[in-house]
Amino acid sequence: MEHHIAVIGAGPRGTYCLRRITLYLKKHPLKHPVNVHIIEKSGNFGGGGIHSVTQPDYLLLNTIGTQITAFGDDDDEARASEARKTLHGYLVDQGISIGPNDYPSRAQHGRYLADMMDWTQAHLPPGVFVHRHSAKVIDIESGPITDQQIVLDNGTSIPADEIILLTGHGKNRVVPDSGPAAWTSFSKNQQKKGDRTSYVHLVYPIDAKTRHVEPGDFVYVIGMGLTAVDVVKTFTMGRGGKFENGGYIPSGKEPFVILASRLGLPYSARAHNQKTDQYKGKILTPETVLKLKAQKGKVDFEKDLMPLIILEMGYVYYTTLMGTQMGDQFLNCASDEERRRLIAENVAAEERFSWEDLENPFRKIQSQTPPGHPWFSSMEEYTRYVIEYLRRDIKEAEKGNLTSPLKAAVDSVLRDLRDTLRLVVDRGGLTASSHRYLDKVFNRVNNRVAVGPPVSSTRELLILAEMGFVSFSGPTPKLSMNEGTGEFFIESDKVAGPVRSVQHVLNGRIHGVDNKNDSSPLIQNLFRREMIRTFVNKDETGVYQLGGLDVTDDFNLIGSNDRPQPHVCALGIPVEGKFWFNAADARPDVNSNSIAQLSRWVEKAVSRLKTKESAKP
């Protein structure tokens, strides 16, 4: 008798998972041999597709190296060496000059993960064997040796007693009758006429997907977040340009880029890190949110949690701005009215914290503009506004996340207190209507203000905008097609002036979690077999359909017949919705959520294998 555990996906979570399996089996060995199958379609074991070791080093992470690990806090053996404990320690050990608060590249992260997976495989407990498979999983079916077997695209299959899907970001198909479908069709028709018009739906790897873009072309990038930053870097540094002495030296190979988003503003820069510890809430605490959950069953994110989030941010903001005495007074106010009086008496109007301004930086302009009129009289006026916005953001980010009141509030609450929010958000803990608010309103603000690029990347964006290589779409931009000219054109009713034409459109956003439209053969076959369904939050407030897979509290996939799969589980990005904010790497010394979840799965999976052993002589 032999056991078979299959891990589908060998990116960051696959790396964490292998270590958690081996660590648990070292402490709780089984009677029979355990074969651990690691399956990775990219062949990049450790980094997976996202953290490929071959990508250029100008593509940066947005987390500093000291806040990234591959190991749990309880893993004394692995953490005994600084070269394993954190990504920063690993890079220093490799002879790379990098500070503790610097941002490594994704390729460097990939090399760290690959080496940590190799180290884990070199330190297996007796009776545990690891098998790597460079192939794509296309199906899971009943097996002759084990209850199920994994079918690979190379024509082979793998027996599996326990399976965990850790497949990361999906690639969504172009949905018929959607904007991307129209853009794809238009581009293909123009190309048949000999034009170079293009729409790129999946932008990674960016260099390979954009080689057809020629110097001087105009490119419209949908998104102003991290992927858009990568696109800009690829069109500049990736084509031989250099940032030196506070300026940019063009290579002559650059296209002109227009970045687009609903809001019309780039993501905020990550502040220079000044912290050594994670912030602990004073208002938004585990005790407070768990009490809410016990009282209400389902919590309303907008009505119950947002006031706590805003209060906590206000406390951090005013403590940073004016000192601990002001912070204590803020905390001790008996009512919102008393708190407003405290602020009015002590803080100048232009220095006060405003969630409303974070949510909509155009709020004041909007209120001063008659309905139906543009907010800006010209594209030049709007561009000047964005450039000044970037300058202010860079100034705050350079102060640091303990010195800038705004950056301290954002970093301390929206980043450091995620696990507190997860206590009520995860497992369908929100009302259906407020889950929609979380997804459609809060997440967008949170991503823009708390999950932006390193400040160095924002400085580069500012330089390029001042030089004219990068411009911006205006709020609520509209992308249309001109059959006569064979080009796309864009306009914003919030900015007066003529429309602008572009030859190329890039989807500069990581695809959202939408398993029903995921192009993965595995996911589509699991739907066909009725082994999976997407998570639906349904209650008296409404019905909210999410794109992530539905799983039990122990991460077992739930089929369309309401039955959990006893031996097939999933974690990470594929279950976004049932669990919140999964696109985060493991962080040391904070009981990392991603590693804690995997530890729980390993314990349950090994327990089932132990039960199987006791059932067979």
Q: Which pLDDT score is estimated for 602? A: 98
Range of the domain at 194: 179-267+468-507
Centroid of chain to Cα 243: 27
The answer to whether position 153 is within a domain reads yes
Q: Which pLDDT score is estimated for 99? A: 97
Q: What is the dihedral of CA 132, 117, 57, 399, to 10 degrees?
A: 140
Average confidence (pLDDT) over 522-546? 98
Same domain, 443 and 304: yes
- What is 16-44 written as a DSSP string? HHHHHHHHHHHHS--SS-EEEEEE-TTS-
The answer to whether position 459 is within a domain reads no
Same domain, 346 and 211: no
Phi, psi dihedral angles at 99 (to 5 degrees): -85, 165
Give the list of residues 6+ apart from residue 240 with CB closer than 8 angstroms, or none: 251, 253
User: Using one digit for the tens of pLDDT, what is the confidence trace for 325-357?
Assistant: 999 999 999 999 999 999 999 999 999 999 999
Task: Please check the confidence at residue 617 and state whether its pLDDT lies above 90.
Answer: no
The answer to whether position 572 is within a domain reads yes
CATH number at residue 50: 3.50.50.60
Q: Which pLDDT score is estimated for 451? A: 97
Same domain, 296 and 255: no
Residue 537 and residue 546 in contact, taking contact as beta carbons nearer than 8 Å: yes
User: Using one digit for the tens of pLDDT, what is the confidence trace for 585-612?
Assistant: 999 999 999 999 999 999 999 999 999 9
Same domain, 47 and 130: yes
The answer to whether position 394 is within a domain reads yes
| Banded pLDDT at 253 (limits 50, 70, 90) | very high
Same domain, 331 and 362: yes
The answer to whether position 274 is within a domain reads no
Q: Which pLDDT score is estimated for 449? A: 98
Inter-CA distances, 42 with 167, 350, 404, 563, Å: 11, 51, 41, 32
* Among 131, 16, 137, 145, residue whose Cα is nearest residue 68: 16
Q: Which of 507, 522, 537 is the last residue of a domain?
A: 507
* Among 310, 312, 273, 314, residue whose Cα is nearest residue 397: 273
Average confidence (pLDDT) over 219-235? 98
* Among 97, 98, 87, residue whose Cα is nearest residue 47: 87
- Six-digit token pair at 542? 């409404």
Average confidence (pLDDT) over 161-166? 98
Top-confidence residue, 510 or 200: 200
Helical residues (DSSP H) of 123-259, grouped into ranges? 179-192, 206-209, 226-236
Full-model pTM: 0.96
pLDDT above 90: percentage of residues in the chain? 98
DSSP three-state, residue 544: strand
| Banded pLDDT at 400 (limits 50, 70, 90) | very high
- Cis check for the bond before 205: say yes or no (omega within 30 of 0): yes
- What is 123-159 written as a DSSP string? TPPTTEEEEEE-S-EEEEEE-SSSSEEEEETTS-EEE
Average confidence (pLDDT) over 206-215? 97
Same domain, 168 and 208: no
The answer to whether position 460 is within a domain reads no
Average confidence (pLDDT) over 198-213? 97
Same domain, 524 and 582: yes
**Containing H/E element for 395?**
helix 379-399
Mean pLDDT of the chain: 97
Same domain, 294 and 439: yes
| Banded pLDDT at 312 (limits 50, 70, 90) | very high
In whole angstroms, give the CA distance from residue 530 to residue 505. 36
Residue 114 and residue 616 in contact, taking contact as beta carbons nearer than 8 Å: no
Q: Which pLDDT score is estimated for 144? A: 85
Residue 306 and residue 312 in contact, taking contact as beta carbons nearer than 8 Å: no
Same domain, 503 and 549: no
Average confidence (pLDDT) over 450-454? 98
Average confidence (pLDDT) over 59-74? 98
In whole angstroms, give the CA distance from residue 52 to residue 254. 25
**Containing H/E element for 423?**
helix 418-425
Domain count for the chain: 3
Same domain, 73 and 168: yes
DSSP three-state, residue 227: helix
User: Using one digit for the tens of pLDDT, what is the confidence trace for 141-159?
Assistant: 998 888 899 999 999 999 9
Residue 77 and residue 596 in contact, taking contact as beta carbons nearer than 8 Å: no
* Cα torsion angle, 346, 351, 357, 358, sign: negative
The answer to whether position 556 is within a domain reads yes
364 C-beta neighbours (distance < 10 Å), count: 11
CATH number at residue 226: 3.50.50
Same domain, 302 and 352: yes
The answer to whether position 461 is within a domain reads no
Same domain, 18 and 84: yes
User: Using one digit for the tens of pLDDT, what is the confidence trace for 258-289?
Assistant: 999 999 999 999 999 999 999 999 999 999 99
